[in-house]
Amino acid sequence: MSQVVSTLPSTPRRVPDRMALLAERRRAGLLLATPAAVLLFCLSLGPSAWVIVLSFTDYRLGVTALNFVGLDNYAELARDPHFWNSLRNTAVYVAVVVPGAVLSGLGAALLIESRSRLRQFYRVSYFMPVAGTLVALATAWEVILHPSFGLANLMLEGLGLSRMRFFSDPDMALLTLAGIGIWELVGFNMVLFLAGLSTIPRDLYEAAAIDGAQGGLDRFRLVTWPMLGPVTMFVIVLTAIRAFRVFETVAVLTQGGPNRSTDVLLYTLFTEGFRYFRTGYASAIAVVFLLVTVTLTLLQTRVFDRRVNYDR
Amino acid sequence: MQPAQVSLNGIDKRFGEPQALRNVSLEVRGGEFLTLLGPSGCGKSTLLRIVAGLEVPSAGSIAIAGRPVDTVSPRDRGVAMVFQNYALYPHLTAGQNIAAPLVMRRLNWWQRLPVLGRAMPGTRGLRAEIADDVARVAASLNIRHLLHRRPSQLSGGQRQRVALGRAMVRHPVLFLMDEPLANLDSGLRAHMRAELATLHRRLGVTFIYVTHDQVEAMTMSDRIAVMFDGEIRQIGTPETVFRAPVDLDVAGFMTHPHLNRWPAVGRDDGTVAVAGTPVPVIADVPAGAGVTLAFRPEDGRLSTKSVGGFVPATVSHIELLGSDALIHARRETADTADGSDRAVVRVAADLTHGLAIGTPVWVAPDAGRAWCFGADGARLSDQQRRAA
Ligand SMILES: Nc1ncnc2c1ncn2[C@@H]1O[C@H](COP(=O)(O)OP(=O)(O)OP(=O)(O)O)[C@@H](O)[C@H]1O
Ligand SMILES: [Mg+2]
């Protein structure tokens, strides 16, 4: 007679204790997070770490030798008037672009919200700079702002005003770039504000009307502005980070000139790293850049988010 | 202040094609608690919002306290409104929410500025007065300890009170409420019903209250206006609307959970016949006329034996509700599509012994409590029979 094999295990399966269960869950969690973690490391954290390491060396692109020089690069930065000049230019640029792009983005969004007929047209025309390639659009601006045959100067002349040297006047160049920067960011900010406006419950405006708000300004102060708080903070920080990263327009239109008046942080980094091949020194600039960006991001997530989020 | 009366005259409202309101006329008496009752989408909110000035009617006119307000802004109509989801400003504390109507009215644009406003002449005194008024209202609603909290930190009932406070604080002559209790759980709703009725009595001002809840309408109102499809079908005291609905829609809406509606034919002897069984009712039904016999579950009678005047049916479902039970039964008729074969009767719970699904039963309405409705849905009067 053949042996009868029970299909049931003789003892019930051991019930895993709580710790084992937790460990198993943790393993599964880690496994699932791995692809994202690998990508994050390869694309972001790894290169950043490498840049930080390089900033302590005298590495030059193309040279095989590499010496650790400690904080020498940073010491040189601190003494370098060009670096301070470009940092100051960047700060001025950010200080002009942030309020400009945030306020005009908000204004455009409010206009579009209230004018239902032209809504689609406004949307497309404001959003175009977001969709277009900045380098190509910068070239278009170069033509528009050309000192002799540019449209802008023709219009100024038509109005009886004197021509302007938008890019060749050291006092004008940075502001002109800031103007283009505002134009570039307005559309995106507007879209963010529009999204924010669409989340405001309609009955808040009705409550405001009954409570005695009269006209758009009252409504804006009582409902729109506070309800847009979280979006506004997000837009401000995002705009600041993007303004801080200004590079393409400088590279295409002014190359930092005239007289270094439009030399910004990323452009200095670019010239040091890829024109003079001083990679170690450029890395130190990159680290400064990284610090500012990280600070802005932390500011948003830690401070602003908490202060303007009414649900917490 | 005199409680305001409200006159609505021939109000039409069209949103593009669909007509939300059709020639609505209504006189709300000063100091009364009037409820607009009706199913979802019948235009209750639209009518209320027209009174508030949040919506402009396509035709018709409105007067509040004898003053035509057709071109007056919501702010200047002197009305207060409580919204279904309260519509509290989430960025302001409860106290600031309650103060909002006063701040918007008593302070000018400059005095309302966040920091600079404090330095403007007169602001300090006005702010202090407002704080006093808010404290008084908060005390009367028992929410003084909540004034510093944001709406997100309040429970539904507490938000409700804050919304009431915001409406009360400037002593409006007319209160408008759009389903203010809809988001509360049933216990709290019962409590707030009593509280709102008390509040109405204490303030003595006119309330227009929107709900689709029959119990809310019955318990709080002086009068109920029942709406269907953008029209007011019936307006009267809760008693009248409940006992003498003008048509089948109103009767159905004022009945919970199901109004029995049986097709019947009038006979010469003052009864109607339901599927051949004569059922006595008090109504002027012409002989041979097809009508609908309708009665509430609590006005039905049930027998387990065949009795004259009772209609045969079979038990299909039994719902025990505690002290009562609902017996659902089905009559044997060919036509079952519109639910006219359903018979629902409310009985004392101890009478359900011996009943099971499939048990044959006999059902009849209380003669004095059943209505007959004509083919157009209107209730047939019972004047002559009563007199006879
Ligand atoms: N702004 C609007 N645009 C288009 N149609 C609307 C608008 N407001 C209301 N309606 C329509 O008008 C009708 C009545 O709406 P209303 O909000 O007054 O109903 P209601 O009786 O308050 O219903 P509920 O009990 O669901 O709140 C509905 O058919 C609705 O679809
Ligand atoms: Mg409604």
Interface probe with A: pick from B89, B93, B110, B162, most Cβ of A within 10 Å? B89
Does A171 contact chain B (CB < 8 Å)?
Answer: no
In sequence order, the β-bridge partners of residue B314 are B330, B360
Q: How far is B133 from A298, CA to CA, in rounded Å?
A: 42
User: Is B104 within 8 Å of A310 when comparing Cβ atoms?
Assistant: no
* Residue pair B293/B272 in contact by the 8 Å Cβ criterion: yes
Task: Pick B296 or B375 by higher pLDDT.
Answer: B296
Q: Is residue B74 located within the same domain as residue B223?
A: yes
The count of domains in chain B is 2
Single-letter amino acid code for the residue at B334: A
Please name the member of B75, B91, B166 whose beta carbon is closest to the beta carbon of A209: B75
Give the SS3 label for residue A86: helix
* Residue pair B164/B83 in contact by the 8 Å Cβ criterion: no
Whether B85 is in the pocket of ligand 1, judged by its Cβ within 6 Å, is no
The answer to whether position B1 is within a domain reads no
Quick check: B176 pLDDT over 90?
yes
Asked if residue B257 has a cis previous peptide bond (ω within 30° of 0), the answer is yes
- Kindly state the helix (H) or strand (E) to which residue B239 belongs, with its residue range: helix B238-243
Please give the residue range of the domain that contains residue B257. 248-387
Query: Tokens 């019962």 belong to which residue?
Result: B190
Q: Which pLDDT value is given to residue B290? A: 87
Q: Is residue B149 located within the same domain as residue B47?
A: yes
Query: pLDDT-based confidence at B385, cuts 50/70/90?
Result: very low
Q: Which residues of B touch A219 (CB under 8 A)?
A: none
Q: Which pLDDT value is given to residue B250? A: 95
Please name the member of A201, A204, A211 whose beta carbon is closest to the beta carbon of B104: A211
Whether B45 is in the pocket of ligand 1, judged by its Cβ within 6 Å, is yes
Count CA atoms closer than 13 A to A97's CA, side-chain side: 31
Quote the mean pLDDT of chain A: 82
Single-letter amino acid code for the residue at B174: L
In sequence order, the β-bridge partners of residue B207 are B33, B175
Q: CA of A124, closest CA in chain B: separation in Å?
A: 28
Q: Which pLDDT value is given to residue B123? A: 79
Q: Which residues of B lie closer than 8 Å to A, measured between beta carbons?
A: 49, 52-54, 73-75, 79-81, 83, 85, 87-92, 100-101, 104-105, 109, 112, 150-152, 166
Count CA atoms closer than 13 A to A303's CA, side-chain side: 8
**Among protein residues, the one whose CA lies closest to atom 12 of ligand 1:** B20
User: Could you tell me the CATH number of the domain that includes residue B58?
Assistant: 3.40.50.300
CA B37–ligand 1 middle distance (angstroms): 14
Q: Which pLDDT value is given to residue A116? A: 64
ipTM of the complex: 0.83
Q: What is the mean pLDDT of residues A194-211?
A: 91
Quick check: A68 pLDDT over 60?
yes
Quick check: B156 pLDDT over 90?
no
Q: Minimal CA–CA distance to B95: which of B192, B157, B161?
A: B161
Q: Which pLDDT value is given to residue B42? A: 93
Domain boundary among B185, B215, B243: B243
The CATH H-level superfamily of A72-305 is MetI-like (1.10.3720.10)
Q: Is residue B30 located within the same domain as residue B165?
A: yes
Whether B211 is in the pocket of ligand 1, judged by its Cβ within 6 Å, is no
Quick check: A8 pLDDT over 70?
no
Residues in contact with A164: Cβ distance below 8 Å, sequence separation at least 6, in sequence order: A147, A152, A153, A156, A172
The answer to whether position B213 is within a domain reads yes
Q: How far is A85 from A96, CA to CA, in rounded Å?
A: 17
Domain boundary among B243, B277, B294: B243
Quote the mean pLDDT of chain B: 89
* Residue pair A163/A235 in contact by the 8 Å Cβ criterion: no
Please name the member of A204, A210, A310 whose beta carbon is closest to the beta carbon of B81: A210
Q: Is residue B289 located within the same domain as residue B216?
A: no
Task: Pick A17 or A5 by higher pLDDT.
Answer: A17
- A235-239, B31-35, B278-282: which range is least confident on average? B278-282
Query: pLDDT-based confidence at B166, cuts 50/70/90?
Result: very high
Tokens standing for A5? 């094999």
Count CA atoms closer than 13 A to A171's CA, side-chain side: 1
User: Could you tell me the CATH number of the domain that includes residue B296?
Assistant: 2.40.50.140
Q: Which pLDDT value is given to residue A310? A: 65
Q: How far is CA B125 from the centre of its chain?
A: 43
Q: What is the pLDDT of residues B215-249, one digit of tens each?
A: 999 999 999 999 999 999 999 999 999 999 999 99
Q: Is residue B287 located within the same domain as residue B350?
A: yes
Q: What is the pLDDT of residues A104-131, one digit of tens each?
A: 999 988 888 876 667 777 777 777 766 7
Q: What is the pLDDT of residues B324-368, one digit of tens each?
A: 999 999 988 766 667 788 999 999 988 888 889 999 999 999 878
Query: pLDDT-based confidence at B149, cuts 50/70/90?
Result: very high
Quick check: B2 pLDDT over 70?
yes
Q: Is residue B204 located within the same domain as residue B222?
A: yes
